[in-house]
Amino acid sequence: MSAPSRFDRGHTDDLMTFLAASPTPYHAVANAAARLEKAGFRQVAETDAWDGSTGGRYVLRGGALVAWYVPEGAAAHTPFRIVGAHTDSPNLRVKPRPDSGAHGWRQVAVEVYGGPLMNSWLDRDLGLAGRLSLRDGSTRLVNVDRPLLRVPQLAIHMDRNVSAEGLKLDKQRHLQPVWGLGDSVHDGDLIAFLEEEAGLERGEVTGWDLMTHSVEAPAYLGRDNELVAGPRMDNLLSVHAGTAALAAVAGSGADPSSIPVLAAFDHEETGSQSDTGADGPLLGSVLERSVFARGGSYEDRARAFAGTVCLSSDTGHAVHPNYAERHDPTHHPRVNGGPLLKVNVNNRYATDGSGRAVFAAACEKADVPFQTFVSNNSMPCGTTIGPITAARHGISTVDIGVAILSMHSARELCGADDPHLLANALVGFLRP
């Protein structure tokens, strides 16, 4: 992957396809895996014995994926170069008893996942997607990618103060979407509908992980198409860039001085504490097993981890033209200005001076400009998988990302050039 020209939009076109095809973490990792398969990677099961041969491999667990490429000549103590990201986004998720309704409306009972901008989910055509667990122990992905649900907002005639006082939403009462009409509620209707959509027999589904998504397609925006509007950029933009970068490095023959890795975790938006989250054992287990499969000892594992570096790639905040005072006065990241280096001295981001040098070297190698983000001192800073990864595994970690607006909205906004600038910077990092 070479440095892009200002008008090279092939990567961004592909990102838009990826976003549209990945309404849930389960779809995102399936799509990333398919792209890695085309690059020669093969899936390995965690329940199988692993060998130490060279080449690309990946592990899928729920909504998480870890992929790595062992170059020819890599030793057991060879350190890793990791791109970390997350697959989940704030949304509305279906409750265990989903069938609901009142006053002639059929509704779906949902729970708020993460910290969405709740107003962005109102009066929007929503689809429904996720993972169905079947009676035989298998799973099936389902995606109803058409207008199915809607959370209707109260008319201004019944809320005359909304413009002056702001919209106030109760998460329990005001966010339940409608999906039809009927005077009675029948338990099992929604799941029966999804069984039919997925081509399953009635009663095959015994469990589900389902969530809503906007069915509006990603699109270029602006006078010169210099912007992109779309869903789940936080943080599928980074998952897509990391997948493309790992495939590019593997395709050109990775340097045996390090092993490139992509770690795409679930549940970042709710704290990362799960078996598929960054605060779980998945990454450490995969890295350790890779060392041991190549004949390494615990000493080799310690040496490999000591030399490992992780770039935690997540979206960051571009300066907002209507709220510039909310930003630090000397740090105003702009869209299409290149990826962000994210810094917080209270360790909400993991970046330090040595990490800055690593990222600067990667960007210089890839001929990619980068910017720095730091929060206004008067406002709390968000966090990422970066500090969690650093603390859990004892590896050097740097927080980076792409500047966007409308973070946690059902539809976010980024620069059209930034996605491929990030991908090129990741190639520079994974190929030291």
Name the residue type at position 304: A
Beta strand 205-214 with 126-134: parallel, antiparallel or unpaired?
antiparallel
157 is in an annotated binding site: yes
Rounded to 10 degrees, the C-alpha dihedral 402/407/411/414 comes to -20
- Report which of 71, 56, 427 is spatially closest to residue 244, judged by C-alpha positions: 427
Distance (Å, whole) CA 268 – CA 114: 9
DSSP 8-class letter at 137: S
408 is in an annotated binding site: yes
Beta strand 139-149 with 126-134: parallel, antiparallel or unpaired?
antiparallel
Burial of 432 (0-12, 13-18, 19+ CB in 10 A): middle
For residue 20, the SS3 value is helix
- Across the beta sheet with 139-149, what order do the strands follow? 139-149, 126-134, 205-214, 91-102, 105-113, 178-181
Question: Token pair for residue 148?
Answer: 């199915």
Distance from chain centroid for Cα 357: 25
Give the CB-side neighbour count of residue 206, counting CA atoms within 13 A.
6
86 is in an annotated binding site: yes
Question: Token pair for residue 134?
Answer: 């079947």
Spatial contact of 99 and 186, defined as CB atoms under 8 Å apart: yes
Please enumerate, by residue number, every residue annotated as part of a binding site. Answer: 86, 157, 408
Please enumerate, by residue number, every residue annotated as part of a binding site for Zn(2+). Answer: 86, 157, 408
